């Protein structure tokens, strides 16, 4: 395949290095890039903040949703949890599970990624038993039968790779053991806890296919494996096992924090990390146009230092096609009294295909979020 014509160009006053040593004439840098930080890019230096709009009309706008307002409804089945955001390759849900599931579920539409926002419980599946707690990811391969027994009410973010599967990212120059060692991945065990749930009682599996549910009834518990071997299995990873890439002289793009990849989207994890210490280095996320990907951030814990009035359990949605970046208060703080450590934890979804906002989110949206980049009070 032939490569497009591409080589570095320069006009006017510009820094030698992206995200560092900005020219005196401008303190605002904007990255216009393709392919989600992996393709060709240009860095502009502006006199004014690229997010300095004073009015906005039309549907393309940054949006924020408070999912804490959705958490009161206990649902026995994850298939009862409504879609929040979706496209042909991805479904994004939040599931409140407080009681033990009296049946099994199986997703025939694609792999599921669970992220436990709060609570803990026991997962039983075809492959055995796993304990899940707050901060855990769990990848469930397509058509795995499973159920949960919460010991504390669980709030679970679910991201379905529709007609696809999850893989680990390529780690390139830093090697296979950087960010997190694959040895940190845990798999279900055929242990005493799993064997104790063998039974000859009637059990059902709710199978979701084409977003419709069928029910299969057995005269025994189909989670009756006595062993298995192979290279396909659910895996568990806690964000505390992630050791993020850092450079004290250069602010790394979000893609450096990729945790899982699917055919048409990626999932990244932002975890506590030192802030860049070099005097000329940018010390918070840069203004950017991500013109090929929609960006979704779920805020799990900590002080979200590039955002203002955003709390744990909230989601921001920045569709492709406009410039976004840190809020003014956060930008000023980074200029005047920069932090030395960022303690936030967040899960980012970047999708190559545009996401639709489901009706379940309409009642929990902060309609004024688009004006949170205004200096001073909101509009």
Closest to 151 measured CA to CA, from 116, 127, 202: 116
Q: How many helices (H) and strands (E) does the chain have?
A: 2, 23
Maximum separation of any 2 CA atoms in the chain, in Å: 76
Q: Is 89 one of the annotated binding-site residues?
A: no
Active-site residue flag, 177: no
**Mapping DSSP to helix (H, G, I), strand (E, B) and coil, where does residue 372 land?**
coil
Please work out, in degrees rounded to the nearest 5, the angle formed at the alpha carbon of residue 250 by the alpha carbons of 245 and 256: 35
Calpha distance 22→281 (Å, rounded): 9
**DSSP labels for 293-360?**
-EEEEEEEES--TT-SS--TTEEEEE-TTSEE---HHHHHHHHHS--SEE--EEEEEEESSPPEEPGG
Q: Which position among 43, 96, 251, 257 bears the catalytic label?
A: 251
Is residue 288 a known part of a binding site? yes
Cβ-proximal residues to 329 (8 Å cutoff; 6+ apart), any chain: 308
For residues 98 and 154, the answer to whether their CB atoms sit within 8 Å is yes
CA pair distance 287, 334, nearest whole angstrom: 14
The residues, ordered by sequence, that sit 6+ positions from 47 with a Cβ below 8 Å of its Cβ are: 25, 26, 28
- Provide the annotated binding site: 288, 294, 324
- Provide the annotated binding site for Fe cation: 288, 294, 324
Instruction: Catalogue the active-site residues.
Output: 251
- Provide the annotated binding site for homogentisate: 324
């Amino acid at each position: 395949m032939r490569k497009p014509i591409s080589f570095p160009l320069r006009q006017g006053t510009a820094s030698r290095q992206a995200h560092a040593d900005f020219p005196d004439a401008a303190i605002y840098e904007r990255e216009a890039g393709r392919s989600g930080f992996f393709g060709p890019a240009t860095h502009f230096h502006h006199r004014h903040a690229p997010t300095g709009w004073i009015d906005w009309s039309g549907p393309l706008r940054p949006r924020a949703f408070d999912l804490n307002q959705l958490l009161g409804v206990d649902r026995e089945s994850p298939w009862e949890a409504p879609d929040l955001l979706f496209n042909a390759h991805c479904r994004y849900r939040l599931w409140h599970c407080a009681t033990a599931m009296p049946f099994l579920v199986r997703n025939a539409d694609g792999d599921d990624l669970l992220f436990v926002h709060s609570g803990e419980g026991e997962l039983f599946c075809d492959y055995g038993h796993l304990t899940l707690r707050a901060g855990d990811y769990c990848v469930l391969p397509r058509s795995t039968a499973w159920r949960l027994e919460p010991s504390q009410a669980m709030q679970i973010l679910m991201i379905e790779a529709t007609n696809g599967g999850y893989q680990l990212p390529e780690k390139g120059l830093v090697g296979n053991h950087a960010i997190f060692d694959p040895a940190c991945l845990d798999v279900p065990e055929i242990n005493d806890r799993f064997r104790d749930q063998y039974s000859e009682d009637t059990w059902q599996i709710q199978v979701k296919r084409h977003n419709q549910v069928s029910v299969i009834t057995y005269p025994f518990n189909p989670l009756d494996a006595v062993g298995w071997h192979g290279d396909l299995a659910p895996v568990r990873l806690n964000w505390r096992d992630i050791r993020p890439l850092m450079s004290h002289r250069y602010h790394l793009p979000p893609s450096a924090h990729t945790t899982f990849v699917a055919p048409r989207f990626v999932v990244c994890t932002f975890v506590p990390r030192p802030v860049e210490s070099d005097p000329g280095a940018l010390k918070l996320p840069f203004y950017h146009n991500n013109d090929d990907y929609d960006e979704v951030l779920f805020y799990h814990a900590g002080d979200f230092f590039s955002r203002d009035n955003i709390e744990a359990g909230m989601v921001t949605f920045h569709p492709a096609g406009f410039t976004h970046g840190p809020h003014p208060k956060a930008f000023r703080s980074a200029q005047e009294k920069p932090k030395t450590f960022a303690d936030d934890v967040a899960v980012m979804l970047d999708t190559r295909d545009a996401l639709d906002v489901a009706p379940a989110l309409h009642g929990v949206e902060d309609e004024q979020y688009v004006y949170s980049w205004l200096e001073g009070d909101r509009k």
